[in-house]
Amino acid sequence: MPATSALRRARRFALAAAVFLLAGCSTLIPQTVALRTGWPAGVPLQLELAQVPFFPQGDYQCGPAALAMAMQFAGAPVRPELLVGEVWLPARRGSLQVEMLAAPRRHGLVGYRLEARYADLLRELAADHPVVVLQDVGLLLPEWHYAVVNGFDYASGTMLLRSGLQSRQEMPFSYFERTWRAGGYWAMVVTQPEDIPATATEARWLEALLGLARAGPNEAAVRGYRAALARWPDSLPAAVGLANQLHAGGALDEAAGVLRGALRRFPHSVVLINNLAQTLSDQGRNAEALALIDQAQDPQSPFAGEVRSTRRLIEERLR
């Protein structure tokens, strides 16, 4: 075979190999590649939340350290030592994501899990929310690690993290995605109840608030539901949640007002009719409550049992 022909074939092989490697690389970092042409709207090209505190992690305790950084930035005076008993599992020598999301509720904060999107992480940073991420930083075997992303620089393609013993770790976009992708792009932010994350959806935020309502102080849940109803005025679950929290706190007049406002939007809602009737009865307005509960007599409703129970209560009080 002539040398020139062999050289051409070698060049073609080298080109094909390069294309294959590039294609393989893009499958490893698909979201980094997408950022080149799809930088999220409204996100600056450079940002660093320098006010995020830094706590160097103890042995196997990156979870408490990362969570303490995010929670303290959100306004809770906590340190990693306080959180060890809440999120660290000695048998696993680490922290599970469910504990990481639950711990902020005990301190009147909301832990919100982000969608598995690079763009959402960047948008939260632009909204002044440092992001806790789960990474696999092992070289040969998996080594799971929590860190806090607190900035980025598009020009140099660099993510900024508070990680391990480093208060300012610089990591290329592509390498960060490789470590982050291994954990399913798991990420969370910690906020005050009235500070709804920039990327939150109605359903996911209300799910997070439900956890706060069950575990946290009533006042914090009220603030969260007020904020939810302000962002999503037509949200029936937000109105019901706010009214329930107000009722539980003894603010019956305000709870009734929220329910009446929601009924103007959803005049046939059995849940709203039932809850308003219950609230009116608790205020001693049983005749008015009985007239209202009669509007909810729908045997096919999944809440028919609750309606019957409320009606019996009203009738007993009238007697």
* Span 240-283, pLDDT tens digits: 999 999 999 999 999 999 999 999 999 999 999 999 999 999 99
Write down which residue in 163, 191, 219 finishes a domain: 191
For residues 20 and 96, the model is more confident at 96
Q: 206-234: per-residue pLDDT in tens?
A: 999 999 998 756 899 999 999 999 999 99
Residues 163 and 240 in one domain: no
Count CA atoms closer than 13 A to 188's CA, side-chain side. 30
Mean pLDDT of 175-203: 97
% of the chain with per-residue pLDDT over 90: 70
Please check the confidence at residue 11 and state whether its pLDDT lies above 80.
Answer: no
Return contacts of 78-81, CB within 8 angstroms, 24+ apart. 78/107, 79/55, 80/55
**Domain count across the chain:** 2
> Do residues 161 and 173 touch, judged by C-beta distance below 8 A?
no
Residues 218 and 118 in one domain: no
Name the residue among 97, 262, 112, 68 with its Cα closest to residue 183: 97
- The pLDDT value recorded for residue 60 is 62
Residues 186 and 209 in one domain: no
- The pLDDT value recorded for residue 24 is 44
Please check the confidence at residue 4 and state whether its pLDDT lies above 80.
Answer: no
Entry pTM = 0.85
Mean pLDDT of 185-205: 97
Write down which residue in 191, 217, 242 finishes a domain: 191
> Do residues 188 and 116 touch, judged by C-beta distance below 8 A?
no
Q: Is there a domain that residue 106 lies in?
A: yes
